[in-house]
Amino acid sequence: AINNIVIGGQNLFENSANIAVDNTTNEHGYFASIEHVMDKLEVGDEITISFDVKQLDGGGNGQFIQCYASNRRNTKSFPAKAFYNIGTAWKRLSFTTTVISATPTGAANTWIEFYSLYHTADYWHVKNLKIERGNQATDWSAAPEDIQEKIEAAAQAKADLAEVQAK
């Protein structure tokens, strides 16, 4: 680390290219399970969470969104982070936090969640979630597991094509 800057770069959140949430009728949304991410982390790890967001001009004031872990069955979590003055254009937001010990509150998966103030009509879209080790956000990238899946799918497609052509 130079000047205490730690860059992880690797997205720990798998399948992020295929998950987006468009909340057009509710100020609260469950984005996705992060159990697989929390399994890769230890209490005390410093992580950076980044995502693209815009709020709709649906009658709300576009001023607030909060991100947090729902912490249901996991023994690890992270504190909530609020963002203000979101606006209606896409923007990339990020925050750095530390994984903390938590007491499970139920049997369901722990989710990363986003919400604005209830009863404000501050509806929003979120996409391109990235959770990475370190304290500097880097550009969105797919998780290594996602890239490996694409490589394997391409190899299978090539093998299938070769088999068809051989007949």
At residue 117, does pLDDT exceed 60?
A: yes
Better-scored residue on pLDDT, 159 or 66: 66
How far apart CA 63 and CA 98 sit, in angstroms, is 25
How far apart CA 32 and CA 77 sit, in angstroms, is 14
Using CA of residue 139, residue 142, residue 147, residue 148, what is the dihedral sign?
positive
How far apart CA 51 and CA 129 sit, in angstroms, is 4
Structure pTM?
0.82
How far apart CA 40 and CA 14 sit, in angstroms, is 12
48 — pLDDT class (breaks 50, 70, 90): very high
